[in-house]
Amino acid sequence: MPAVVKIEELHKTYDSGEVPVHAVRGVSLEIQQKEFLALMGASGSGKSTLMNMLGCLDRPTRGRYLLDGVDVSLLDKNELADIRNQKLGFVFQGFNLLARTTAVENVELPCLYGKQRLSSKKMRERALHCLDIVGLSNRADHMPNQLSGGQQQRVAIARALVNEPQLLLADEPTGNLDSRTSIEVMGVFQKLNDQGITIVMVTHELDVARYCKRNLILRDGVVVRDELTSDRSIAEVELGKLRQAETAAKLTTTA
């Protein structure tokens, strides 16, 4: 089985300003199926630039990118769009849900661009199944503004899953969430990863990266560290500890 991601000496230079910016400088990387990778590094280190290339949203200036064994470095815009719809799922910091559209309709949306032509009944079934995976079957008919931040992000994760992607890419998915909700969302990602989905996630927070299996750190467009997560956090366990602490606090205030 080929690596989900294999990049060789990838470079990206932005030429828009007066001085070219060499944002990614020769990154080589393999990501196998079922990996769960946190991409870290200071602001400006090239995380989003690298993610955009992994997500076929932007093309490298130089280097090769094999996605699931297919060389995507040379594809044109339309071909890249097809690959995105077929093989990739995206989750963003700001959820990016359509406002006047129910949760289930938001999840259905990528089906319209998927490779299979599905009947509306089949689309609805799939979307409801994905909402079930993220634990939101009972909110299918809610509008985004009737949902909490964590619930909105879970809808966005369900939407990313609806075309059964090979690779899930998330750019700061917990950036707008409080710490408890962040753990809950990391729990959803851990569950998906346990079921076999490969995940790459950009995060600034070390606490969040500890829920991933592998941590990669960029500095000035170069990989400076790449290691397995030591002492990995498990969301279920951390949420259990939180609940215990809350119960203990309640007992002290009522005693």
Q: What's the per-residue H, E or C state across 154-204?
A: HHHHHHHHCCCCCEEEEECCCCCCCHHHHHHHHHHHHHHHHCCCEEEEECC
Select the residue interacting with Mg ion from 10, 37, 48, 154 (CB under 5 A).
48
Cα–Cα separations (whole angstroms), residue 47 to 38, 189, 195, 201: 10, 19, 26, 10
Estimate the crossing angle of helix 235-254 against helix 179-194, to 10 degrees.
150
Select the residue interacting with ligand ATP from 10, 23, 37, 167 (CB under 6 A).
23
Report residue 174 as tokens: 């917990």
Which residue of the chain is nearest Mg ion when measured via CB? 48
Helical H segments across 93-148, by residue range: 103-108, 120-133
Pairing of strands 214-219, 36-40: parallel
Nearer to ligand ATP by Cβ, of 41 and 110: the residue is 41
Nearer to ligand ATP by Cβ, of 45 and 182: the residue is 45
Whether 51 contacts 202, CB under 8 Å: yes
41 binds ligand ATP (CB under 6 A): yes
Size, binding site for ligand ATP by CB under 6 A: 13
CB of residue 244 vs Mg ion: minimum separation in angstroms? 36
CB of residue 156 vs Mg ion: minimum separation in angstroms? 17
CB of residue 38 vs Mg ion: minimum separation in angstroms? 14
Question: What is the footprint of ligand ATP within residues 42-61 (CB under 6 A)?
Answer: 43-49
* Contacts with ligand ATP, residue ranges (CB under 6 A): 14, 16-17, 21, 23, 41, 43-49
* Contacts with Mg ion, residue ranges (CB under 5 A): 48
